[in-house]
Structure 1
Amino acid sequence: MLLGAMLGTNNLAQAGDFYDAVLGTINMVRTMTVDGEIGYGVVGGASCFWILTPFNKQPATVGNGVQLTFQAASNEQVDEFYRVVLAHGGSDEGAPGYRYRPHYYGAYCRDPDGNKLHVMHEANSAIVE
């Protein structure tokens, strides 16, 4: 069972501002802030996603082939997630639209550190909120 995922950053304050805004579009909130780390999850829940400065004090780098996928509750949330990413210093990797299967709607983008993010909604899929 996967408990969580984390991405490295070279500017924790900037990454925190970015993810506070972006993850808010899919009802995730900051659940903890400690030295060098910020955790996110659902209100009242445990942290399941973290951003952090690398423990070894080396610069954070982007993993080739690494991507985190977030599940949205609607196509409108996908659109808003993508819009907020771009408004907060992220970049485009594939605008919102239908792909893969008839009801799969998603977008691809990168955070200010270059980490690849995917947000998706698929009608009739189970969403835990």
Structure 2
Amino acid sequence: MFSHVTLGTNDVTKAEPFYDAIMAVLGQPSLMKQGGSLAYGSWTGEKIFIVPPFDGRPASHGNGEHIAFITQDRAIVDAFHAAALANGGSDEGAPGLRPHYHANYYGAYVRDPDGNKLQAVCHRSLKD
């Protein structure tokens, strides 16, 4: 559905260990680390860029927006949350079921060092 997502950062040096850790958990390789920019994913598929804003103004996060990364199992959601917190992120919702979305919706929410809200989610049941 999409080519890429871009998130702004005010400090790529601070963002790098955070994104290295969570992207490793999600199985997304580093594509680029140059010119104050980071990229993860696949050049021929979906990717995420972490960059200082092109207009030179400070990066800021939006209220009500977040990026959700799909995972194949609940253990990856747990590992994503732990890696985020261990690398400068903050908790926005511990791993767990969110049955108000659907019976098997298992997710965790974090904020990156710049305040961007991220989520890992698994839609599979324990039987899948």
Q: TM-score, normalised by structure 1?
A: 0.88
User: 1:43-96 deviations in whole A, cap 9, x for unaligned?
Assistant: x75561010001111111111222011011110000000011111111111100
Runs (4+) off by over 4 Å: 44-47
Contact 2:40 2:49 in 1 (8 A): yes
Partner of 2:13: 13
Query: SS where residue 19 of structure 1 aligns?
Result: helix
After TM superposition, give the deviation of residue 32 of structure 1 in Å.
1.4
Query: SS where residue 57 of structure 2 aligns?
Result: coil
Distance 1:104 1:95, change over 3 A: same
Contact 2:77 2:95 in 1 (8 A): yes
Q: TM-score, normalised by structure 2?
A: 0.89
Two-structure CA RMSD over aligned residues (Å): 1.6
> 2: CA distance between counterparts of 1:106 and 1:5?
20
User: 1:7-28 deviations in whole A, cap 9, x for unaligned?
Assistant: 1000112111110011111101
Q: Which runs of 5+ in 1 are unaligned?
A: 125-129
Matching residue's letter, 1:35:
G
Residue 23 (structure 2) pairs with residue 3 (structure 1): no
Q: Which runs of 5+ in 2 are unaligned?
A: none
Matching residue's letter, 1:104:
Y
Question: % of aligned pairs identical?
Answer: 42
Q: How do 1:56-71 and structure 2 match up within 5 A?
A: 56-71=55-70
After TM superposition, give the deviation of residue 103 of structure 1 in Å.
1.1
